[in-house]
Amino acid sequence: MNSRDLLVVGSGISGLSAAIKAKELGSNVVVATKSILTKNNSVMAQGGINIALGNVESDSVEAHIADTLNSAKGLADENMVQKLCSNGIQSAEFLEQIAVPFSRLNGAKTPLKSIAQRKLGGASAKRACYAQDYTGLKILHSLLDTAIAKEIPLLQNMQLLELLKNSSGEICGGLFLNISSGELEPIYAKRTLIATGGFGALYSKHTNSANTTGDGIAAILRAGGVLSDLEFVQFHPTTLKGRNILISESARGEGGLLLNSDNERFIDELGTRDKVAMAIFQQLQSGKSVYLDMRHIGKEKLQHFSIFWTEFYGIV
């Protein structure tokens, strides 16, 4: 039985980052993913990732922690929040190392200080590092280039069915359906990392990749694993009516206004997503429509949203 050191299930930003780090530490790694390598929720992330670099205006890790805890309404694990925010600069350095093509500021003294930042919902400063409006896709492309250069096997069209256990009851890999061949294929490993994301695509209205159906979560449950916080499902506030097309939060971050059918603003556009989503829902429940008004932001800024204006060409 040929066994790897590490099996990573999922080819998004988390899975590929873990696979690359493990490979750098000397592990024999394989990555398996349900569809093609770029069909996942990482690609759907457009607006940016929050890291307290302070490149555009004053910011700090402490402010990032405070904003996160405030947004969580006291329900977050404070130790985990502190770890996440404190490791932000280290993450930015890694992304620079693998040549993520972030949007850039002129005149910066170091590459890290040249990363452009914008303000997104719930933040007290311009904190989101972005690559135009393709942030997730650009990060994923750089991770894939790095994984390929490090000769990490990347197996596509492999759907996880169940986790395998050895005679001692320890997880020793996974059983996969090879969607291309229709065959069942086991992959054995000393350690297995599930990085398959959530289950947002199970809802009728969502902005997730169609593959986000909770396969990894279900496999963990069937294997007797412990899960937590499954009730915390976040719904992105802005999509096009009648379709599951995401309108990036960065559209509001750059000045887009939410108006009801009476041409009234009804919410701080950069409030936390739960507040903005609830405010939109309340407007719809009252019989009104909701619009995103970007007419005033100008052609130059609008061109920064290439996904936006190609998706909605003829509408905006």
Residues with catalytic annotation?
273
According to DSSP, the residues that pair with 118 across neighbouring strands are: 128
Buried-state track 72-103, b at ≥16 Cβ within 10 A, e below 16: beeebeeeebbebbeebeeebebbbebebebb
- As a whole number of Å, the end-to-end CA separation of the chain is 58
| Residue partners of 238: CB distance under 8 A and separation at least 6 | 246, 247, 249, 251, 252, 258, 276, 280, 292
CA atoms within 13 A on the CB side of 170: 7
The candidate with the shortest Cα–Cα distance to 124, out of 78, 63, 83, 52, is: 63
Q: Are 82 and 60 in contact (CB under 8 A)?
A: no
Task: Give the number of residues written for the chain.
Answer: 316
The total of other beta-carbon atoms located within 10 Å of residue 66's CB is 14
